[in-house]
Amino acid sequence: MSPRAAARLENFGFREVYEYAAGKSDWFAFGLPMEGEGARVPRAGQFARHDVPTCHPEERLGAVRERVAAAGWDACVVVDHERVVFGLLDYSRLTGDPDRTAEEVMELGPSTFRPDAPIERLLDYMRRHRRSGVLVTTPDGRLVGLVRRVDVGSTDVLGG
Amino acid sequence: MPTIADRDEVQRLLQRGAQLVDVLPEREYAESHLPGAINLPLKKLDRAAAARLDRDRAVIVYCHDLQ
C-alpha cells in the first residue's frame, strides 16, 4: 500500500518522498509512541522494568548472585554485549553452584513479548505458565526489560 | 523512485520537519498511528487530498508493513 502511495505522491510532483516500508507494526514493536484509540491500551513496554540486572554468559554464578542481591532483585537476564537475550536466571537458578557459569544454568530461550503487546496477554501468559515475570524484547531480540506480575498487580490497569 | 527509510531514518527525517502520512483506511488510522501522522488513505489519495501536504517538505508514507 505505501509503495503505491509514495509513487502517487511523486507523480503529483512531490520531490522528497520516503517510504517507511516496515510500517507501523515495526514502529510499535520497538516500543515507540502510539497515537489513536490503541494508545489507551496498557502495553508491555509501559510496565517493563529496565533496571533488571543483566550478566554475560561466561560470568560465575556466585559473582552474579551477589550483584543481583545487592540491587534488590532475585532474577537476572543473560545477554550478549548488544543486550540480545540468551537466557534467564530466576531465583532457583541463581542460588545454584557459585562456580558454575550463567550459561550453564540459565533457562535457555525464555519466551519474550514485544513492547506493544497488550499487558493483558502477558498476565494471561504468566498465569497459565505460573511465572512471576516475563521478558520484553525488541524484534531483534534486545532486552527492553522485565515485566513482573507484582508490578502490574492491580486490576485497575485492565479497567476491571 | 521513493526512498526506502528505516525506523532510524524516519526519526531523523521527523526531526528535520518531515510530514508523516498514514495511508491506511480511516478505521485503522483511528486505532493506531505514529505520533503526528495525518491520514490520507490510499483509496482516497487524489490531487485534492495531496494538497493537504506541503510540497516543500519531505513526506514519509507508511502503512502497516510490507503487505
What the block records as the C-alpha cell of A42 is: 496498557
Query: Where are chain B's structural domains?
Result: 7-62
Nearest to B59 by CA among B7, B8, B24, B10: B10
| Spatial CB neighbours of A124, under 8 Å, sequence gap ≥ 6 | none
Q: What is the predicted pLDDT for the residue at A155?
A: 46
Neighboring chain B residues of A45 at a CB cutoff of 8 Å: none
From residue A136, alpha-carbon distances to A85, B3, B15, B46 in Å are 10, 31, 28, 41
Q: What is the mean pLDDT of chain A?
A: 93
Is A159 among the domain residues? no
Strand-pair partners of A85: A79
Q: What is the predicted pLDDT for the residue at B63?
A: 94
| Spatial CB neighbours of A130, under 8 Å, sequence gap ≥ 6 | none
Please state the pTM of the whole predicted model: 0.84
CATH 3.40.250.10 fits B7-62, yes or no: yes
Query: Is residue B66 pLDDT above 50, yes or no?
Result: no
Strand-pair partners of A64: none
The domain total for chain A is 2
Q: What is the predicted pLDDT for the residue at A154?
A: 56
Mean pLDDT over B35-58 rounds to 95
Q: What is the pLDDT of residues A41-90, one digit of tens each?
A: 999 999 999 999 999 999 999 999 999 999 999 999 999 999 999 999 99
Task: Give A118's DSSP letter.
Answer: B
Same domain, A12 and A49: no
Neighboring chain A residues of B66 at a CB cutoff of 8 Å: 21-23
Task: Give B2's DSSP letter.
Answer: P
**What SS3 state is found at A38?**
helix
Q: How confident is the model at residue B1 (pLDDT cuts 50, 70, 90)?
A: confident
Domain of A113 in residue numbering reads as: 44-154
Q: Calculate how close chain B gets to A24, using CA atoms only, in Å.
A: 5
Is A77 among the domain residues? yes
Q: Which of A12, A20, A27, A34 to mutate against chain B (most B CBs within 10 Å)?
A: A20
Residue showing cell 550483584: A67
Q: What is the predicted pLDDT for the residue at A50?
A: 95
What the block records as the C-alpha cell of B5 is: 527509510
| Spatial CB neighbours of A37, under 8 Å, sequence gap ≥ 6 | B30, B31, B32
Same domain, A23 and A97: no
Q: How confident is the model at residue A159 (pLDDT cuts 50, 70, 90)?
A: very low
Distance CA(B37)–CA(A27), nearest Å, equals: 13
What the block records as the C-alpha cell of A121 is: 496477554
- ipTM entry: 0.95
Strand-pair partners of A88: A77, A107
Residue showing cell 518531515: B18
N-terminal to C-terminal alpha carbon distance within chain A: 38
Q: What is the predicted pLDDT for the residue at A160?
A: 38
**Residue A103, class by beta-carbon neighbours within 10 Å (0-12 exposed, 13-18 middle, 19+ buried)?**
middle
Q: How confident is the model at residue B64 (pLDDT cuts 50, 70, 90)?
A: confident
Neighboring chain A residues of B22 at a CB cutoff of 8 Å: 24
Q: Calculate how close chain B gets to A45, using CA atoms only, in Å.
A: 16
- Identity of the residue in A18, A26, A36 whose CB atom sits nearest the CB atom of B3: A18
Q: How confident is the model at residue A2 (pLDDT cuts 50, 70, 90)?
A: confident
Same domain, A62 and A113: yes
Query: Is residue B67 pLDDT above 60, yes or no?
Result: no
Mean pLDDT over A145-157 rounds to 79
Is A8 among the domain residues? yes
Q: Calculate how close chain A gets to B42, using CA atoms only, in Å.
A: 6
